[in-house]
A and B are shown apart, each in its own frame.
Chain A
């Protein structure tokens, strides 16, 4: 039984991205858990649409950065500009100073620029020329990225992937939905404009606070820990889940529980969130017949661990 306010949120986002309840649900959970979201998929399945819709339903500031190969760090954080009137340097905040930042096609820019964004994500502040500027609260980065096989990209290093709480794939819609989308062809802007704003900043902040106050039984902690440990000892995985990822999994499970209208975390929250929280961080071993799918690996690991009763 989802929370009524959140149900409206989900419905609103679903107006823009149709037939993708799971992706919508996971991105909202990421928002509630104060995490950053990475949407990975081939072009043209609605990555940007989902990000835009998500930014639209929450009534807060939104900036979009289109990552290109010549984008510079200062294009994100902002620069000090010399003001001839006052004879002093003046800080011009960059697009990162917003509640929701869409970093579109993040792997198209150079690592130097990527790291500028990713450092801001972790520290919720930006340092320019020795001055530190706090980022607004709430602050969420939604990054989209094309899969690595695509030409002209700079893959994100593992340490930076680790900072995204949740990574989702959208996938192609079902045949019915896809045909329906073709029939009702409209301007993308118009479709997005139809998405209503349903959540204020204050409300979002209170939701986020409530997410941290759910009851978490010791057995849930143990369950999470077992999953993380198993990923480290797995013989197909070189680098397993980090401690930060365990924290992320717990926060995501809490948000998932809150989203489902519960005041406690249940095993299914952990089980549902484990693949989207953990899979993108794993470094798999090479060799053998083809690279394993990390999402399937995590699902296998979770299926090998007794759920708490």
Chain B
């Protein structure tokens, strides 16, 4: 067995195992199976003896028993149980590689492992596993072909193996890019369970830190032409009971729309906020592409002023206050695009009905026991003419008199935490600042509400997007000023400087993850259309009329039959490869050899019995059997003389050739056979 074959088999087995372990769903008890398998392949490479039959048999029986127990007693998901089974079998098999059949078993198990891995995870590490798997599988199959042909000793293996592997990877990439994908991403994915979910709570209880303030777990990544920082709204809270904020809005309406994206026939759909449903390109100038990590909430975070959403997960629900929710929890990573119009303020959303006038009374609600706060608010805002100036005055007051701190002592019993913050500790975090401001605005007669969401985040210059983490959870204020909701963020910057700066490398890795998710996992029909558009515009250059015509044509084709184009491209590529191989072969041969080969091919079509190992002499005998005249003898003898001897081509050669190629034997072989 060539060393390359053992090597590729080992790579396949260990890649399959590592891929499964990488998902994190595999029980750590099985981790030692990887070093065991590595040891097994090391022994194989060193030419050590394989394990005795009884040991392998006993191991296999034990493994099957374990599998049964895994499913029946431990109640493991069948998919995971299969994964456990293959991990043990791969380790076992590494000591039992005697026949070609054994290697095939390893290939099969490795394929199974990669399939299970694809069900369990979609991280970039799976991409790496997949590429290694494809390359190693192609290499292993190529070598096994040479072994089967009995030519492995004579052929230099690295060349063909590299050629086949790279060709297959290239073809995989091409197929990935061009094969239509109806659902926008991979199929399946129900089993993606172990990825960490992030939480977001809609209720804000003052003084109760939920432990997310320092949590670096990534919540989402935001890509937008607008400059950061972004304020991504997750909940709007309008009622304060003295200690906690809650929302009085429960009604949610599905957004009308579901209009397919303008080019692709399926995949992403656009949902418009009714008031701005003209969805003209001007209204879509500013966009935010948000990739949400797996989450426990259904909220689709969006900046204020959203006019439409483009999603791949189906319809979007919205409430009057401009909070968007998904139809169900996103158990996997999803992405969507929010279009923002500067003309639209936050909120003002009603789906399918008239927009009721904002009932300002709702946003002036105030619990009892906040008289000191009301007095303070009157003091601060006295003398300012308009609501905007009053709001700025309050914001300024809070910035000057209170400091940011995550460590706030628990409020004394009987005293409202907001009073404690304003007049006692004077220390607090965003919720304190925002609550104080909202309430003081209300005291000053300005309708206001609290907004919880995420803001800030760190900008990744590598991929031009912002990483929003759990610790970027934030609370701010929206005030109704001159009929329009305006955002205020009274919280002074405090923690920003204290946060550790991420290293350059981690930025690169995160950018890679982002791109993997954006361009590979959620690669959709609209992406295909965009790619196609870019390609066609590349071809047509700067002539605008033709440009648009070709793009329209491309759209038409894509709409009419999504399969035609990819199939054409694949067929074209395949034909080009075949033509290149034939051209390469033909180049190796002299014109006389090519004539001989054509004649031989013709004989073959007539039923002559010969193989590649047949010499010209044997071919000649077959020609005689078929009733070819003496020209065949002369032609083949002369061909041999030219090819292997020193004779130049004579005038007769071509004449003989033409005669043979046009000769029709009276009794083809198939006829004689029947008799």
Q: Tell me whether A233 and B614 are in contact (CB under 8 A).
A: no
Q: Tell me whether A267 and B646 are in contact (CB under 8 A).
A: no
Q: Which residues of B contact A303 (CB under 8 A)?
A: 611, 613
Q: Which residues of A contact B615 (CB under 8 A)?
A: 266-268, 271, 307
Q: Which residues of A contact B616 (CB under 8 A)?
A: 266-268, 307, 309
Q: How far is the CA of A67 from the CA of B188 in the complex (A)?
A: 83
B interface footprint on A214-244 (CB within 8 Å = 1, 0 otherwise): 0101011000001001101110000000000
B560 near A: Cβ within 8 Å? no
Q: Which residues of B contact A271 (CB under 8 A)?
A: 615, 618
B424 near A: Cβ within 8 Å? no
Q: Tell me whether B617 and A266 are in contact (CB under 8 A).
A: yes
Q: Give min CB distance, B224 to chain A, whole Å.
A: 62
Q: Tell me whether A266 and B154 are in contact (CB under 8 A).
A: no
Q: A303-B613, A304-B613 are in contact. Are A264 and B646 (CB under 8 A)?
A: yes
B589 near A: Cβ within 8 Å? yes
Q: How far is the CA of A217 from the CA of B617 in the complex (A)?
A: 17
Q: How far is the CA of A226 from the CA of B614 in the complex (A)?
A: 15
Q: A229-B154, A232-B153, A233-B150 are in contact. Are A307 and B614 (CB under 8 A)?
A: yes
B interface footprint on A262-276 (CB within 8 Å = 1, 0 otherwise): 111111100100000
Chain B residue total in the interface (Cβ 8 A):
24
Query: Which residue of the partner chain, among A226, A262, A305, A308, contacts B645 with CB atoms under 8 Å?
Result: A262
Q: How far is the CA of A140 from the CA of B122 in the complex (A)?
A: 76
Q: How far is the CA of A75 from the CA of B480 in the complex (A)?
A: 128
Q: A229-B154, A233-B150, A271-B615 are in contact. Are A264 and B645 (CB under 8 A)?
A: yes
Query: Which residue of the partner chain, among A219, A265, A305, contacts B613 with CB atoms under 8 Å?
Result: A305
Which of B85-93, B331-339, B450-458, B636-644 interfaces with chain A?
Answer: B636-644
- Which B628-650 residues have C-beta < 8 A from chain A? 640-641, 643-646
Q: Which residues of A contact B596 (CB under 8 A)?
A: 309
Q: A267-B615, A267-B616 are in contact. Are A309 and B150 (CB under 8 A)?
A: no
Q: How far is the CA of A265 from the CA of B593 in the complex (A)?
A: 16
Q: Which residues of B contact A182 (CB under 8 A)?
A: none
B612 near A: Cβ within 8 Å? yes
A29 near B: Cβ within 8 Å? no
Query: Which residue of the partner chain, among A232, A267, A309, contacts B593 with CB atoms under 8 Å?
Result: A309
Q: Give min CB distance, B467 to chain A, whole Å.
A: 58
Q: Tell me whether A217 and B643 are in contact (CB under 8 A).
A: yes
B597 near A: Cβ within 8 Å? yes
Q: Which residues of B contact A233 (CB under 8 A)?
A: 150, 152-153
Q: Which residues of B contact A226 (CB under 8 A)?
A: 154
Q: Which residues of B contact A302 (CB under 8 A)?
A: 613
Q: Give min CB distance, B610 to chain A, whole Å.
A: 10
Q: Give min CB distance, B33 to chain A, whole Å.
A: 33
Q: How far is the CA of A271 from the CA of B613 in the complex (A)?
A: 9
A306 near B: Cβ within 8 Å? yes
Q: Give min CB distance, B620 to chain A, whole Å.
A: 9
A interface footprint on B367-378 (CB within 8 Å = 1, 0 otherwise): 000000000000
Q: Which residues of A contact B643 (CB under 8 A)?
A: 217, 309
Q: How far is the CA of A278 from the CA of B612 in the complex (A)?
A: 21
Q: Give min CB distance, A27 to chain B, whole Å.
A: 21
Q: Tell me whether B645 and A215 are in contact (CB under 8 A).
A: yes
Q: Which residues of A contact B618 (CB under 8 A)?
A: 268, 271
Q: How far is the CA of A97 from the CA of B429 in the complex (A)?
A: 116
Q: Give min CB distance, B593 to chain A, whole Å.
A: 6
Query: Which residue of the partner chain, among A229, A265, A304, A306, contacts B644 with CB atoms under 8 Å?
Result: A265
Q: How far is the CA of A267 from the CA of B611 in the complex (A)?
A: 14
- Which B507-528 residues have C-beta < 8 A from chain A? none
Q: Which residues of A contact B153 (CB under 8 A)?
A: 229-230, 232-233
- Which A258-309 residues have C-beta < 8 A from chain B? 262-268, 271, 302-309
Q: Which residues of B contact A305 (CB under 8 A)?
A: 613
Q: How far is the CA of A305 from the CA of B149 in the complex (A)?
A: 10
- Which B469-484 residues have C-beta < 8 A from chain A? none
Q: Give min CB distance, A46 to chain B, whole Å.
A: 28
The residue of chain A having its C-beta at the shortest distance from the C-beta of B617 within the complex is A268
Q: Which residues of B contact A230 (CB under 8 A)?
A: 150-151, 153-154
Q: Which residues of B contact A262 (CB under 8 A)?
A: 640-641, 645
Q: Give min CB distance, B63 to chain A, whole Å.
A: 31
Q: Tell me whether B613 and A217 are in contact (CB under 8 A).
A: no
The residue of chain B having its C-beta at the shortest distance from the C-beta of A219 within the complex is B644
A226, A232, A233, A266: residue with the most chain B Cβ atoms closer than 10 Å: A266
Q: Tell me whether A263 and B150 are in contact (CB under 8 A).
A: no
Q: Which residues of A contact B151 (CB under 8 A)?
A: 230
Q: How far is the CA of A267 from the CA of B645 in the complex (A)?
A: 11
Q: Give min CB distance, A219 to chain B, whole Å.
A: 8
Q: How far is the CA of A263 from the CA of B645 in the complex (A)?
A: 7
Q: Give min CB distance, A298 to chain B, whole Å.
A: 13
The residue of chain A having its C-beta at the shortest distance from the C-beta of B620 within the complex is A268
Q: Which residues of B contact A263 (CB under 8 A)?
A: 645-646
Q: Which residues of B contact A265 (CB under 8 A)?
A: 644
Q: How far is the CA of A268 from the CA of B152 in the complex (A)?
A: 25
The residue of chain B having its C-beta at the shortest distance from the C-beta of A216 within the complex is B644
Q: Which residues of A contact B640 (CB under 8 A)?
A: 262, 264, 266
Q: Which residues of A contact B593 (CB under 8 A)?
A: 309
Q: How far is the CA of A230 from the CA of B611 in the complex (A)?
A: 18
- Which B587-604 residues have C-beta < 8 A from chain A? 589, 593, 596-597, 600
Q: How far is the CA of A234 from the CA of B151 in the complex (A)?
A: 10
Report 13 cross-chain contacts, Cβ distance below 8 Å, ordered by A residue: A229-B154, A232-B153, A234-B150, A262-B640, A263-B645, A267-B617, A268-B617, A268-B618, A302-B613, A304-B150, A306-B612, A309-B596, A309-B616
